[in-house]
């Protein structure tokens, strides 16, 4: 496979200060970032550094629980729950070196919240943060709707968190510490290359815990960007890294780009971060019955459920092909309970 080739692309940084007054300027900056890189960082948002620190503390306290306790809320096909080394990406064919806990707003979370006596205060703290992530996402949704000529509430209505069947997900992630003295297999990643299939994703990162890399889709010439030029994502404390998902790419008739990204496993003791890595993703997923079609009608109209099903099928088939290429039996790609871990990405 050979060493990764890197290039320094600058990732656009958009300030959301004075949002209501500056909405036209912010809209044009976001639209430009979406049309070019598909990745950008947000600064001066309504989510403060202490609030981000607090949700990371909550996340770390969850992952510090024994596996038997985390196993009381296992991952299910409703895209909620805890998995450990359960997600196999079609780009690698082996499990991501991580564990994650996925949370939703509505009925899919029945019995999937960690018990109050196992981790006091977890549920209200997570729900509070999820509402903040939703509120910030809705600002971006207004801007992208305007950019495409839709009514302001077009995407907000399709991602309504007050509905019990709402599908949006907060994903807490913990990548395991890597032993500097033991070389990992070449195809091991903390998270293998992928594009998300939601509308847009907010990514919360910890300063000092590097590893996120992007390869803007329009430059990808090889499968999953392997062999292409990648860029290490740099951000300032408090910035929120965002990326366009396949859903918004399709809903914009491919005008906005969903972008390959990955979390590389550390290999270089001089430059890479080997310690435990925590990150948090908020995936804006469509309601099952919303109707998806771009302003120019490039693709046939589909519902949210049809879009998600097609994305999962593509993922499943690509994984099967990769595993055949690697000569593996189709046993990975499912977690311990036999449930495919597909998440939103």
Which residues of the shown chain bind ligand AKG in the complex (CB under 6 A)?
A: 171, 173, 191, 196, 203, 205, 212, 261, 263, 279, 281, 345
Give 27 or 315: the residue with its C-beta nearer to ligand AKG.
315
Selection from ligand AKG, Fe ion, none that 263 binds (CB < 5 to 8 A by kind) is ligand AKG
Give 143 or 244: the residue with its C-beta nearer to Fe ion.
244
DSSP string, 154-209: HHHHHT-TTSTT---EEEEEEEPP--TTSPPPTT--SEEEE---SSEEEEEE-TT-
CA 28 to chain CA centroid, nearest Å: 24
Selection from ligand AKG, Fe ion, none that 248 binds (CB < 5 to 8 A by kind) is none
CB of 201 to ligand AKG, least distance (A): 6
Q: 335: which 2 tokens?
A: 């977690």
CB of 301 to ligand AKG, least distance (A): 27
CB of 18 to ligand AKG, least distance (A): 29
> Using CA atoms, how far apart are residues 297 and 290, in angstroms rounded to an integer?
16
Query: Counting beta carbons within 10 angstroms of the beta carbon of residue 254, is it exposed (0 to 12), middle (13 to 18) or buried (19 or more)?
Result: middle
CB of 194 to Fe ion, least distance (A): 6
Selection from ligand AKG, Fe ion, none that 159 binds (CB < 5 to 8 A by kind) is none
CB of 314 to ligand AKG, least distance (A): 16
Interface map 165-204 toward Fe ion (x if CB under 5 A): -------------------------------x--------
SS3 state of residue 344? coil
Query: Counting beta carbons within 10 angstroms of the beta carbon of residue 188, is it exposed (0 to 12), middle (13 to 18) or buried (19 or more)?
Result: middle
């Amino acid at each position: 496979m050979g060493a990764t080739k890197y290039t320094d692309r600058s990732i656009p940084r958009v300030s959301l200060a004075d949002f209501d007054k500056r909405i036209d300027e912010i809209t044009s900056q976001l639209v430009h970032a979406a049309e070019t890189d598909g990745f950008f960082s947000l600064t001066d948002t309504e989510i403060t550094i202490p609030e981000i620190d607090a949700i990371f503390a909550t996340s770390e306290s969850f992952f510090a629980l024994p596996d038997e306790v985390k196993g009381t809320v296992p991952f299910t096909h409703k895209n909620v729950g805890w998995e450990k080394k359960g997600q196999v990406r079609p780009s690698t064919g082996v499990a991501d070196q991580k564990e994650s806990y996925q949370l939703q707003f509505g009925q899919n979370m029945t019995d999937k919240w960690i018990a109050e006596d196992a981790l006091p205060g977890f549920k209200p703290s997570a729900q509070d943060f999820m509402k903040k992530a939703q509120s910030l996402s809705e600002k971006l949704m207004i801007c992208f709707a305007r950019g495409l000529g839709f009514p302001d509430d077009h995407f907000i209505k399709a991602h309504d968190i007050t509905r019990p069947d709402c599908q949006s997900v907060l994903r807490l992630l913990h990548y395991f510490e890597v032993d500097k003295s033991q070389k990992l297999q070449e195809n091991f990643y903390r998270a293998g290359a992928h594009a998300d299939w939601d509308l847009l994703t907010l990514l919360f990162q910890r300063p000092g815990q590097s590893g996120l890399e992007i390869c803007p889709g329009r430059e990808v010439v090889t499968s999953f960007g392997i062999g292409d030029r990648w860029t290490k994502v740099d951000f300032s404390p408090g910035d929120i890294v965002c990326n366009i998902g396949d859903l918004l790419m399709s809903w914009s008739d491919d005008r906005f780009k969903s972008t390959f990204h990955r979390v590389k496993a550390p290999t270089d003791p001089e430059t890479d971060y080997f310690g435990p890595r925590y990150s948090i993703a908020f995936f804006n997923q469509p309601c099952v019955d919303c109707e998806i079609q771009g302003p120019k009608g490039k693709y046939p109209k589909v519902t949210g459920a049809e879009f998600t099903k097609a994305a999962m099928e593509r993922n499943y088939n690509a994984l099967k092909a990769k595993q055949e290429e690697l000569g593996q039996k189709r046993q990975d790609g499912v977690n311990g309970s036999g449930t495919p871990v597909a998440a939103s990405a």
